[in-house]
Amino acid sequence: MAGTLYVVATPLGNLGDLSPRAADILRRAPVVAAEDTRRTRGLLSHLGASPTLLSFHAHSDTRKVETLLGILRDGRDVALVSDAGTPVVSDPGADLVAAARAAGITVVPIPGPSAIATTLSAAGLPADRYLFLGFLPRKGAERARLLARAAAEEWSVVVFEAPNRLVALLEDLVPLAGAGRHAVVARELTKMYEEFRAGTLGELVDYFSAVAPRGEFTVVLHGTGSPAAAPDRTDEALERAAALLAEGRSRREIVRDLTETLGLARNDAYRLVMGLP
């Protein structure tokens, strides 16, 4: 029989947060796949566990996935852990989990600490619905797109950030969301210097510009409270409808096409198509 892939959540900082079930799995698993073997070795030593420790991180190639699949096929269990928190959530591991499932190997989650849930629970901002964006790109069009999405989101938005880029993140949000938008910045969760700082974006920029950010950061941006306005796709719809009409498609077919491909309401699509010459 094949082994089992255990996806094990580990403490964000405080070792007391490791669940008894997670501790038992890490003691019993013959192989542990870790994002940072040095960090995980400390946790295993704390538990008195001595499995085979393999490196598995964001830059691991497909050969490492095949190696771990081979171990599982041979009947040995593998515990997948990240540096801290729940693996695969903004951490490597999705490819391995997908490959294991495709191979018919059992995947068992061992729930526990999560920086997202931990921050939201103490932020004091709405958390019944939220958008998680992980680490944003450092620059470029994709960063600009995600920042704009965060600023326009009706729900709370959760972002991870490195200390040397925290001020830039807050500054980039100000022109998009407004200096008065409320946010919460959490750092060093469950560790000795854990801190939650709430305020407006403008206040947080001032604070962290004066006090050098240190540690690992999770930022929660208050949502707008209302859905973002739908983009105006009239010009795109007119161009598409005219092209389809020139191809000989019936107006009824074009109405259906616009509702399915562009998301137009049927009545709006009908009026637009019937207005074409």
- Find the mean pLDDT for residues 214-233: 88
- Find the mean pLDDT for residues 234-247: 92
Q: Please report the pLDDT score of residue 230 as a whole number.
A: 66
Query: What's the rounded Cα separation, in Å, for the pair 39 and 55?
Result: 11
Residue 89 has pLDDT above 90, yes or no: no
What percentage of the chain exceeds 90 in pLDDT? Answer: 87
Q: Is 109 helix (H, G, I), strand (E, B) or coil?
A: strand
User: What is the CATH architecture of 5-113?
Assistant: 3-Layer(aba) Sandwich (3.40)
Nearest Cα to 215, choosing from 249, 250, 190, 248?
190
Q: Please report the pLDDT score of residue 4 as a whole number.
A: 98
For all residues of the chain together, what is the average pLDDT? 94
Residue 134 has pLDDT above 80, yes or no: yes
Give residue limits of the domains in the chain: 5-113, 116-221, 234-274
How far is CA 277 from each of CA 69, 245, 261, rounded to the nearest angstrom? 61, 10, 22
Q: Which are the contacts of 112, defined by CB distance < 8 A and separation ≥ 6?
A: 8, 9, 10, 11, 17, 18, 19, 22, 86
pTM of the model: 0.80
Per-residue tokens: 42: 């400390």
Helices first, then strands: H and E counts in the chain: 11, 10
Give the tens place of pLDDT for each residue, 150-199.
999 999 999 999 999 999 999 999 999 999 999 999 999 999 999 999 99
CA angle 254, 259, 260 (to 5 degrees): 95
116-221: what CATH class? alpha beta
